[in-house]
Amino acid sequence: MSTPVPVRLHVNGVEHQLEVEPRLLLVHALRDQLGLTGTHVGCDTSNCGACTVHLDGRAVKSCTVLAVQADGAEVTTIEGLAPEGELHPLQEAFWNDHGLQCGYCTPGMIMAAAGLLADNPNPTEEEVRHGLEGNLCRCTGYHNIVKAVLDAAKVKDATITTPTSPSQQPEVRA
Amino acid sequence: MSATVSGDGSASAGAPHVGRAMRRKEDPRMITGRARYVDDISVPGMLYAAIVRSPEAHARIVSIDTSAASERGDVIAVLTGEDLADAFAGPMPMVWSPPGVEIKTPENWPLKRGEVKHVGDPVAVVVGTDHYSVADAAEDVTVEYDPLPVVVDPEKALEEGSPLVWEQFGTNRTHEFKVAGGDIDAALDEADVIVEQRLVNHRTAGAPIEPRGVLADPHGDNFTVYSATQIPHIARFVLSLVVGIPEDKLRIVAPDVGGGFGSKLQVYPEEALVLALARRLGRPVKWIESRSENMLTAHQGRDQINYVKLGAKRDGTVTGCQVRVVADLGAYQLLLTPFIPELGFPVMGGCYKFQAIDLTFEGVFTNKVCTDAIRGAGRPEATYWIELAMDRLAAELGMDPLELRRKNFIAKDEFPFTTALGITYDSGDYEGTLDRLLERFDLEAFRREQAELRDRGVYRGVGFSTWVEVCGLAPSRVVGPQGVGLQAAFWESALVRVHPTGSATVFTGTSPHGQGHDTGFAQIAADRLGIDPQQIEVIHGDTDQGPWGWDTYGSRSLSVGGEAVARAAEKVQEKAKRICAALLEAAPEDIELADGKYRVRGSPDKFKTMAEIAGAAHIPPQELPTDIEPGLEETAVYDPENFVFPFGAHACVVDLDPETGKVEVVRYVAVDDCGPAINPMLIDGQIHGGVTHAIGQALYEQVVYDAQGQLVTGTFVDYALPTAAELPSFETDRLETPSPVNSLGVKGIGEAGTIAATPAVTAAVLDALEPLGVRWIDMPLTPRRVWEAIEQAKGGVPA
């Protein structure tokens, strides 16, 4: 194990000061060090997208980002997509449209869809299908996922994806 | 939550909850990242395990040097098969023992000693305090192998002089099993036309997006094992025997499970290994596999070669159906490995009235990971060959393939229908689903459009599948030790408990991994209890909670487990009526449950709610007769008398580029019948996913081993799961023909799409290729295969 290095991550509006191995993947920093287990790991090759989070507002696969690369960045995970007790329009639409079955790909799928809608607020079905091709689902056949994304796009605040400024003061934790 | 309550079932009290597209009770935790899968669980003092696996497909282990790994910081133990020789009470079991048939079954220990039999076979394990360090340490374990001859092709493995996977058996043939009914020789003699076809149903992976994972947590003499499994109850039974821990000291929990598709219908050697390590080290041990490990070592599916012979008279009446199945079982026998090819036998003959059916199954060892159940398990293979052989028969007879089907369908008024194999199909309306399909899919218009497109160089094709499957596993006496020979039973249990304040908990012996039991079972119980489904929790997947059960596979949860829930809830309702009658000074038979109230028939203003009744049940007032036991909970155990037989008619439309061979599914219409819907939204979801699984097999997915037994498709880079971009939106419709087997009238639907769709996709491709002279291609219908077939048909030599 090499010498740990300090990393400052702003995750879901909360600042964290971590000591990490330089090789530590962002997904493992989120899951193992911050306890944010909503971000999942489904492959070794960045194909499945279960680990998708937002890094400075862009959807990224957190298995392909080192924690040190995220130093100083704003990270949003599924746990922080909507304020506590509320649902983001995409979460609501996935629920209404049965856009999930086992739920394992779901956080990554929702975060990828949020990134898609941020870039393209009124996508066609074709654009949604191509926009989500980096995220694998084995349960749904994507039918209801695509439907949910199109339905969420009809809700006007669906593109507000990163609640990076919560009312509380940033909290620093080791 | 900002969510509205519409769709949650509480909007119109009194109306039945069954039949509604109620949105799922599971979803709030899953869409917010609060679900809990195995890898999300950590316990104090937890260690991590990494497994050292064979890079050789067949070899003698000469030596294992663990010293470098042991010296690493963070490493607690490095153990080999020899080190753990006394850690197990027995090898991993295989549970099919058909009367009169010997199935060759080698000992399968969690860590291998002596020889390895496929790439990925586990030979050592590293345990340490950090999951990155144990992966490093595993690479430091040096294993010297002496390679042995390898065989990967199942038909070559049956040839004289083939390398042997297991020297002691003297053959790679594991067993031969025959099922027959009617006089096949007479039936084929009577036929004017016979079609014969060899079909390869290639090896596929289950590929749930959550890989396997196990956490074993010791506390005193007791152990809790969290596992990403479909079968916690069966796992406790098996792990108890393999690791030698009494069942009463072993608790298995299947937490949220990220998909199974049959690949988690297994008790894996890794589960036994991790439990044995936790006992040996006295500390919690977690093992989470990588995707590469999953592709190497989770059991796979299909991998059959089918030799099919169908006979028919000139007028299209089918006579006999004869099939030989060569099934590649891989290197060992896991829980159900040799039984999976045979599992589909009750529907080998499809929707059609064959006077004779004759089936032979041969299992073969190869130096590959085992096959076992993957979504559909034997039935997709059966539907694939029966439907495509019917198409060929139609072509030989010069008949329309759908007319040939109609001519041979078991008619709606012939059910229950006993087939030539002596299997009784419960109910069906095969004409009905095909008629509905053709209402939605205008075949004449399609043929006009197809001809116009071909004039413009666009190759479009349509394929049909009129399918039937057998599920609802299972009548225990039919498939148990003295029947088909599984050393198990397949009844299901439910416990329904109404709490003192009137909410309820339903415990089921089934164990979901995406199907939506929390919702569907709450709907079933709600109507029978008079409680809103939002006030009913469904508990599953924990052997310390609720009665014993037989878990989830074989599209059994609803038709067996759901029926048990209904029966337990009805028992509670009966008791609630007796309590209500005592409270209202009425006769129990005069109490009715209506509009969510227990009321006196004819006097709707005289009623009690379930909350009032439950309160009285737990704190009995004086007017309650003493012969009514306090409390309000009941258990039901249900063993079905027969399987259930869902069916349907599917149409697939593809466009094909003859220059590149690329196939695109442009339309898919599915009409299915699984009896009355409990929740139609969940049925559609199962069809979408099931059909996609089959489209994946038909067009994209294939597990490939090279001639040395090296896995070529070891990641999702090489093993091509379909993405959203490859698929159309699906069109679904349903008929509801009740099953007489259970009181709900329901049939399973979890595997239906996968069972139905491969022949529809393949037939669509063959239809598109018809003007190019291509008559047959084996799946997967990749651009290269399609292009090569076109070139061959042209008489050219493919590159």
Which ipTM did the prediction report?
0.97
Tell me whether residues A139 and B689 touch, CB distance under 8 A: yes
How does pLDDT run across A47-75, given as a tens digit for each residue? 999 999 999 999 999 999 999 999 999 99
Give the pairing of strands A74-76 and A5-11.
parallel
Residues in B touching A133 (Cβ below 8 Å):
723-725
Handedness of CA B241, B244, B249, B255 (dihedral sign): negative
Tell me whether residues B33 and A128 touch, CB distance under 8 A: no
Angle B563-584/B610-618 helices, nearest 10 degrees? Answer: 80
CATH class as words, domain A89-159: mainly alpha
Residues in A touching B291 (Cβ below 8 Å):
42-45, 48
Sorted by where each starts, the structural domains of chain B and their CATH numbers stand as 426-483+642-799 (3.30.365.10), 491-638 (3.30.365.10)
Give me the pLDDT at residue A165, please.
40
Instruction: Identify the residue among A66, A94, A139, A149 best suited for mutation to test binding to B, counting B beta carbons within 10 A and taking the highest.
Output: A139
3-state secondary structure B79-131: EECCCCCCCCCCCCCCCECCCCCCCCCCCCCCCCCCEECCCCCEEEEEEECCH
Alpha-carbon separation of residue B89 from B239, B240, B241, B285, B721 (angstroms): 10, 9, 7, 20, 39
CA nearest A99 in B: which residue? Answer: B685
CA nearest A96 in B: which residue? Answer: B23
Residues in A touching B133 (Cβ below 8 Å):
1
Give me the pLDDT at residue A173, please.
40
Residues in chain B with pLDDT < 50? 1-6, 9-11, 799
How does pLDDT run across B728-757, given as a tens digit for each residue? 999 999 999 999 999 999 999 999 999 999
Q: Within a 10 A sphere around the Cβ of B798, how many other Cβ atoms?
A: 12
Q: Radius of gyration over alpha carbons of chain B, in Å?
A: 28
Tell me whether residues B685 and A1 touch, CB distance under 8 A: no
Buried b vs exposed e over B70-101: b needs ≥16 C-beta within 10 Å?
bebebbbbbbbbebbeebbeebbbbbbbbeee
Give me the pLDDT at residue B795, please.
86
* Selection from A18, A59, A166, A140 nearest residue B685 by Cα: A140
Amino acid at A145: I
* Selection from B643, B648, B642 nearest residue B673 by Cα: B648
How does pLDDT run across B526-578, given as a tens digit for each residue? 999 999 999 999 999 999 999 999 999 999 999 999 999 999 999 999 999 99
Tokens of residue B640, six digits: 């079905």
Residues in A touching B690 (Cβ below 8 Å):
141
Do B26 and B515 touch, CB atoms closer than 8 A? no
Do B599 and B592 touch, CB atoms closer than 8 A? yes
Tokens of residue B487, six digits: 């050393």
SS3 A112: helix
Tell me whether residues B210 and A42 touch, CB distance under 8 A: yes
Nearest by CB to A79, which of B28, B33, B291?
B33
* pTM confidence score: 0.96
Residues in A touching B27 (Cβ below 8 Å):
94-95, 100, 103
Tell me whether residues B724 and A142 touch, CB distance under 8 A: yes
Tell me whether residues B514 and A102 touch, CB distance under 8 A: yes
Q: Within a 10 A sphere around the Cβ of B460, how many other Cβ atoms?
A: 21
Give the pairing of strands A74-76 and B47-53.
unpaired
**How big is chain A, counted in residues?**
174
Do B376 and B554 touch, CB atoms closer than 8 A? no
Confidence of residue A163 (pLDDT cuts 50, 70, 90): very low
User: Cα distance from B750 to chain A (closest Cα, Å)?
Assistant: 10
Instruction: Identify the residue among A46, A101, A144, A149 best suited for mutation to test binding to B, counting B beta carbons within 10 A and taking the highest.
Output: A101
Cα three-residue angle B254-B255-B261, rounded to 5 degrees: 65
Tell me whether residues A133 and B723 touch, CB distance under 8 A: yes
Do B763 and B391 touch, CB atoms closer than 8 A? yes
Do B761 and B694 touch, CB atoms closer than 8 A? yes
Amino acid at B451: A
The mean pLDDT of A128-134, rounded to a whole number, is: 98
CATH number of the domain at A5-80, please? 3.10.20.30
Gap between the Cα atoms of B122 and A29, Å rounded: 29
Give the phi and the psi of residue A58 in degrees, each rounded to 5: -110, 140
Cα dihedral angle (B129, B130, B136, B138), rounded to 10 degrees?
Answer: 50
Amino acid at B448: R
User: Cα distance from A149 to chain B (closest Cα, Å)?
Assistant: 12
Gap between the Cα atoms of B646 and B371, Å rounded: 25
Gap between the Cα atoms of A152 and A158, Å rounded: 6
Tokens of residue B50, six digits: 């990494």
Tokens of residue B526, six digits: 């709600």
Confidence of residue A158 (pLDDT cuts 50, 70, 90): low
Tell me whether residues A102 and B23 touch, CB distance under 8 A: no
Do B233 and B548 touch, CB atoms closer than 8 A? yes
Q: Within a 10 A sphere around the Cβ of B690, how many other Cβ atoms?
A: 28
E strands within chain A? 5-11, 14-20, 52-55, 58-61, 74-76
Gap between the Cα atoms of B577 and B509, Å rounded: 26
Give the phi and the psi of residue A133 in degrees, each rounded to 5: -75, -10
Angle B517-529/B563-584 helices, nearest 10 degrees? Answer: 30
SS3 B134: helix
Tokens of residue A40, six digits: 């999942």
Tokens of residue B284, six digits: 């919690």
User: Cα distance from A4 to chain B (closest Cα, Å)?
Assistant: 14
CA nearest A106 in B: which residue? Answer: B31
- CB-defined contacts A:B, below 8 A: 190
Do B244 and B238 touch, CB atoms closer than 8 A? no
Instruction: Identify the residue among B36, B75, B209, B721 best suited for mutation to test binding to A, counting A beta carbons within 10 A and taking the highest.
Output: B209
Give the phi and the psi of residue B442 in degrees, each rounded to 5: -80, 100
Question: Where in chain A do CATH 1.10.150.120 domains reside?
Answer: 89-159
Do A147 and A99 touch, CB atoms closer than 8 A? yes
- Name the strands in the sheet holding B662-673, side by side, starting at the edge strand that comes first in the sequence: B459-468, B647-657, B662-673, B731-735
Burial class of residue B13 (count of CB atoms within 10 Å of its CB; 0-12, 13-18, 19+): exposed
For chain A, counts of helices (H) and of strands (E): 5, 5
Give me the pLDDT at residue B15, please.
78
DSSP 8-state assignment for residue B325: E
Evaluate the omega torsion of the peptide bond into residue B416 and state whether it is cis, within 30 degrees of 0: yes
Burial class of residue A147 (count of CB atoms within 10 Å of its CB; 0-12, 13-18, 19+): buried
Give me the pLDDT at residue A172, please.
39
Is residue A170 scored above 50 in pLDDT?
A: no
B488 CA to centre of own chain: 17
Question: Where in chain A do CATH 3.10.20.30 domains reside?
Answer: 5-80
DSSP 8-state assignment for residue A78: G
